Chain A
Amino acid sequence: MSTTSAALPNEGPWAVPSRGKIGMMSLIIAESAIFLIFVAAYIFYIGKSLDGPAPKQILAVPLFATICLLSSSITMHSAIDALRKGSSGVFNLLWILTLALGAIFIGATAREWHHLITVENFTIRTNLFGTTYYSLVGLYASHVIVGLILLTIVAIFGLAGKVRREHSERCEVIAMYWHFVDAVWVVVFTVVYIVGR
């Protein structure tokens, strides 16, 4: 099928946004809405437990884990920068460092939960605090784990030498997801360990 009259003024080069980035941004919007509801429930139920332990009594602020997780955004950003410049080796290093920092966070959360469950006898059914704490942090941790899976897949390809400069946009899409995960932690951390205590 032909275009219209040849006498049409040139409208300039045609450019549309990357579908990967728009798709990931859309997913981030949807996930933000889910987290918003769980955060709303958390905030609504602060102080409303009828019995059982209160946050101040059993929650320890996970400062080290938080620093690790938030730093992972910096390493992730640097990894993408390196890949754009073509330094696959530096990219691999920084990417795996990001993965490690994320894994430390999950490990720390697992240790915290193990302590809460086995020592404090504190579970999702203990009281409203238990319900909202485990559901919000659990939903969050599951998103981190999905992120770690994505990072691992790319790390495997990266170590096999298959991730090069032309793949930087796809890695950026994953980076968007990881930065979103970090941003959600800022909110969850504030609500659970600062406001809620």
Chain B
Amino acid sequence: MASESIALEVHKGPLQVVYEWLGTADHKKIGLMYIVYALLFLVIVGIEAILMRIQLAHAESTFLSPQVFNKLFTLHGTTGVFFVAMPILFGFGNYLVPLMVGARDMAFPRLNAFSFWMTSFGGIFLYASVLGGAGISQIGNAPDFGWFAYAPLTSPAFSPGHAADFWNISILLAGVGSIGAAVNMVATVISMRCPGMTMSRMPLFAWMNLVMGGLILVTISPLTAAQLMLLGDRFLGSHFFDVAAGGAPIMWIHFFWIFGHPEVYVLIIPCFGFVSEIVPVFARKAMFGYPAMVAASVGIGFVSLGVWAHHMFTVGLPSYGNAFFVLTTMLVAVPTGIKIFNWLATLWGGKIRFATPMLFCAGFLFQFLIAGLTGVMLATAPFDWQLSASYFVVAHFHYVIVGGILFTIFAAFYYWYPKMTGRMLSETLGKWHFWVFVIGFHMTFDVMHIPGLTGMPRRVYTYAADRGWQTWNEISSIGAIFQTIGILIFVYNVVASFVAGKVAGDDPWDAWTLEWATTSPPPEYNFASIPAVHSRRPLWDIKHPDDPDWKYE
């Protein structure tokens, strides 16, 4: 039976509540702060996207100046990766992993708080850049050199002023926060598991967070190193990327992509974890091929460290260099494909319930597959020579990030919101959200491949009218309107359900992992007594003592 929380009802003044949240080291509160923070920045990222889509809808538009447009796409990419995707995944991970492994908190609660505040300050520092400079209507002093900030464009000679420093320092701080979060997550998954929860009985979401944490340790550090080098070049007169002194900008490119490619796997791997938790519950069938899922994910983590130069096919590496990275990039598709087959095998023969979490997972399966296919296309170097820095690439990575990552984040919201708040999100609004958003997503990003294939470069603030790109851009921009409406429905759902949603109870989905074995929301100490587990589905064992999983595992 579920535990009961004995809460003392004490009236707290508003100042007390603020102090409690500011000073908390409780993983659930920190998780929620990460998530709320990320949602606020998601709205900002969306506004930046809408502004750009308005500008691009018509050829030779003068809605935005090129300077403003450059700042918008730089902020959009930088914010999306570092201040939306990373924090929201840290948020879900910090909230759920201790519950899933039967612990009372993360391994290092105060490190958890420190990491959150470092990351959140980084985001605020980045947006402080819009003040000053040319004024906020011209997006101030914001960085304008693209999210990958290539040298020597970021050198003092070509980026005078402090826009580059805002970019550099804000992400350096966020990087420190990320490494702290990763250290914490690895230690939690390995050292905080409850009795009986061997590594092979852990929920797949916990495994994914372990792989993500390990990957962060080796991938954020190269970016930190490169940023320290850039800091040196900009403030101390060092010559890391200074051509006049014999420095090589290609070092920045290598170091950045040694970070940048594994980073996208950092983002997608916890999303795989969401899908692996949700699909079995809504197919009423245990995950197919658990060991293969673990092995594939670890394999993806390792292979992803060796593919970075597929972002550099047009830089001029020797042919054998390019060829090596073509092969490794194609190799990473193999374990990824194994995972997709296993999710499909889980669905096969199951009793599928298309509640909103499952709808978003279905969208993910379809869209992530297509994104993977365009990825394999781009992995072929000569093909990439035509399409590098075109809208084909933009379409590809938005397909993964929005169609893959964001869809699973929505699924995770609909699935775990009841646990975090005690209330269900509205199913009706959820379905409206899904259908409006998926139509908008496909309208924008399916079509976007075409101008890419016909030569439209990325990061251009406008294009000539006779290129034949206008119609496609118009359709993409209309799709953005649908996506906006979908997100507004979502935001309304989140807020309205918080006050008036149906009460959820401990286990509204009839699920099997430990977070559903305590109240919704859980008490501060998570569990009345630390559970002991004997299988991969401890809650199934408790609910079905006559037919427990440990008989079959």
Residues of A participating in the B interface, judged by any CB pair closer than 8 Å: 1-5, 8, 11, 14, 16-19, 22-23, 26-27, 29-31, 33-34, 36-38, 41, 44-45, 48-50, 124-125, 127-128, 130-132, 134-135, 139
Question: For A134, what are the chain B residues with a Cβ–Cβ distance below 8 Å?
Answer: 238
Does any Cβ of A come within 8 Å of B217's Cβ?
Answer: yes
Contact B217–A127 (Cβ < 8 Å) = no
Which of B183, B184, B232, B548: most chain A Cβ within 10 A?
B183
Contact A26–B217 (Cβ < 8 Å) = yes
Contact B218–A30 (Cβ < 8 Å) = yes
Contact A23–B255 (Cβ < 8 Å) = no
A8 shortest CB reach to chain B, Å: 6
Question: For A26, what are the chain B residues with a Cβ–Cβ distance below 8 Å?
Answer: 182-183, 186-187, 213-214, 217
Question: For A16, what are the chain B residues with a Cβ–Cβ distance below 8 Å?
Answer: 190-193
Which chain B residues in 259-296 approach chain A with CB under 8 Å?
none
Does any Cβ of A come within 8 Å of B226's Cβ?
Answer: yes
Question: For A45, what are the chain B residues with a Cβ–Cβ distance below 8 Å?
Answer: 246-248
Q: Which 8 residue pairs across A and B have the least CB separation, nearest first?
A: A125-B237, A33-B221, A19-B191, A37-B225, A14-B195, A131-B238, A23-B187, A30-B217
Contact A124–B237 (Cβ < 8 Å) = yes
Question: For B226, what are the chain A residues with a Cβ–Cβ distance below 8 Å?
Answer: 37
Q: How far is the CA of A25 from the CA of B484 in the complex (A)?
A: 44
Q: Which of B425-433, B434-442, B527-535 contacts A (4 or more CB under 8 A)?
A: B527-535
Contact B184–A48 (Cβ < 8 Å) = no
Which chain B residues in 196-240 approach chain A with CB under 8 Å?
196, 213-214, 217-222, 224-226, 228-229, 232, 236-240
Q: How far is the CA of A135 from the CA of B222 in the complex (A)?
A: 14
**Which single member of B108, B232, B239 contacts A128 (CB below 8 Å)?**
B239
Does any Cβ of A come within 8 Å of B341's Cβ?
Answer: no
What class of interface size applies to chain B in its complex with A?
Answer: 35 or more
Residue ID in chain A nearest B527 by CB atoms: A1
**Which single member of A2, A8, A38 contacts B542 (CB below 8 Å)?**
A2
Contact B187–A127 (Cβ < 8 Å) = no
Contact B184–A23 (Cβ < 8 Å) = yes
Contact B196–A14 (Cβ < 8 Å) = yes
9 examples of A-B residue contacts, CB within 8 angstroms: A1-B1, A3-B532, A16-B193, A19-B188, A23-B183, A26-B214, A30-B221, A34-B225, A124-B237
Q: A14-B196, A128-B245, A128-B247 are in contact. Are A19 and B545 (CB under 8 A)?
A: no
Contact A127–B245 (Cβ < 8 Å) = yes
Contact A4–B542 (Cβ < 8 Å) = yes
Contact A19–B246 (Cβ < 8 Å) = no
Question: For B192, what are the chain A residues with a Cβ–Cβ distance below 8 Å?
Answer: 16, 19
Contact A33–B196 (Cβ < 8 Å) = no
Question: For A1, what are the chain B residues with a Cβ–Cβ distance below 8 Å?
Answer: 1-3, 517-518, 527-529, 531, 542
Contact A19–B251 (Cβ < 8 Å) = no
Question: For A22, what are the chain B residues with a Cβ–Cβ distance below 8 Å?
Answer: 107, 186-187, 190-191
Does any Cβ of A come within 8 Å of B446's Cβ?
Answer: no
Contact A125–B191 (Cβ < 8 Å) = no
Q: How far is the CA of A31 from the CA of B224 in the complex (A)?
A: 10
Q: How far is the CA of A29 from the CA of B187 in the complex (A)?
A: 13
**Which single member of B108, B191, B221 contacts A37 (CB below 8 Å)?**
B221
Q: A125-B238, A127-B239, A135-B229 are in contact. Are A27 and B245 (CB under 8 A)?
A: no
Contact B225–A19 (Cβ < 8 Å) = no
Question: For B190, what are the chain A residues with a Cβ–Cβ distance below 8 Å?
Answer: 16-17, 19, 22
Residue ID in chain B nearest A38 by CB atoms: B225
Contact A33–B228 (Cβ < 8 Å) = no
Contact B232–A34 (Cβ < 8 Å) = no
**Which single member of A30, A50, A132 contacts B179 (CB below 8 Å)?**
A30
Question: For A29, what are the chain B residues with a Cβ–Cβ distance below 8 Å?
Answer: 214, 217-218
Question: For A132, what are the chain B residues with a Cβ–Cβ distance below 8 Å?
Answer: 240
Which of A4, A27, A130: most chain B Cβ within 10 A?
A4
Residue ID in chain A nearest B530 by CB atoms: A1
Question: For B541, what are the chain A residues with a Cβ–Cβ distance below 8 Å?
Answer: 4
Question: For A14, what are the chain B residues with a Cβ–Cβ distance below 8 Å?
Answer: 195-196
B190 shortest CB reach to chain A, Å: 5
* Given A38-B225, A124-B238, 13 more pairs with CB closer than 8 A: A1-B529, A2-B1, A4-B550, A11-B534, A14-B196, A16-B193, A19-B188, A26-B182, A26-B213, A29-B218, A30-B179, A33-B217, A34-B225
B541 shortest CB reach to chain A, Å: 5
B517 shortest CB reach to chain A, Å: 6
Contact A27–B232 (Cβ < 8 Å) = no
Q: How far is the CA of A50 from the CA of B251 in the complex (A)?
A: 17
Residue ID in chain B nearest A139 by CB atoms: B228
Question: For A41, what are the chain B residues with a Cβ–Cβ distance below 8 Å?
Answer: 229, 240, 251
Q: How far is the CA of A16 from the CA of B202 in the complex (A)?
A: 13
A43 shortest CB reach to chain B, Å: 11
Q: A29-B218, A124-B236 are in contact. Are A8 and B187 (CB under 8 A)?
A: no
Contact B191–A30 (Cβ < 8 Å) = no
Q: How far is the CA of A44 from the CA of B528 in the complex (A)?
A: 57
**Which single member of B188, B224, B232, B550 contacts A8 (CB below 8 Å)?**
B550
Residue ID in chain A nearest B549 by CB atoms: A4
A184 shortest CB reach to chain B, Å: 13
Contact B187–A34 (Cβ < 8 Å) = no
B414 shortest CB reach to chain A, Å: 26
Residue ID in chain A nearest B220 by CB atoms: A30
Q: A26-B187, A131-B240 are in contact. Are A5 and B218 (CB under 8 A)?
A: no
Question: For B229, what are the chain A residues with a Cβ–Cβ distance below 8 Å?
Answer: 41, 135
A117 shortest CB reach to chain B, Å: 13
Question: For B182, what are the chain A residues with a Cβ–Cβ distance below 8 Å?
Answer: 26, 30
Binary contact track B513-553/A, C-beta < 8 Å → 1, others 0: 00001100000000111011010001001100100101000
Question: For B527, what are the chain A residues with a Cβ–Cβ distance below 8 Å?
Answer: 1
Which chain B residues in 39-80 approach chain A with CB under 8 Å?
none
Question: For B196, what are the chain A residues with a Cβ–Cβ distance below 8 Å?
Answer: 11, 14
Binary contact track B1-19/A, C-beta < 8 Å → 1, others 0: 1110000000000000000
**Which single member of B2, B188, B239, B529 contacts A125 (CB below 8 Å)?**
B239
Q: A34-B224, A44-B251 are in contact. Are A49 and B246 (CB under 8 A)?
A: yes
Question: For A30, what are the chain B residues with a Cβ–Cβ distance below 8 Å?
Answer: 179, 182-183, 217-218, 220-221
B549 shortest CB reach to chain A, Å: 9
Q: How far is the CA of A78 from the CA of B187 in the complex (A)?
A: 27
Q: How far is the CA of A4 from the CA of B201 in the complex (A)?
A: 15
B306 shortest CB reach to chain A, Å: 14
Contact B534–A8 (Cβ < 8 Å) = yes
Q: A127-B245, A128-B239 are in contact. Are A19 and B187 (CB under 8 A)?
A: yes
A46 shortest CB reach to chain B, Å: 12
Question: For A139, what are the chain B residues with a Cβ–Cβ distance below 8 Å?
Answer: 228
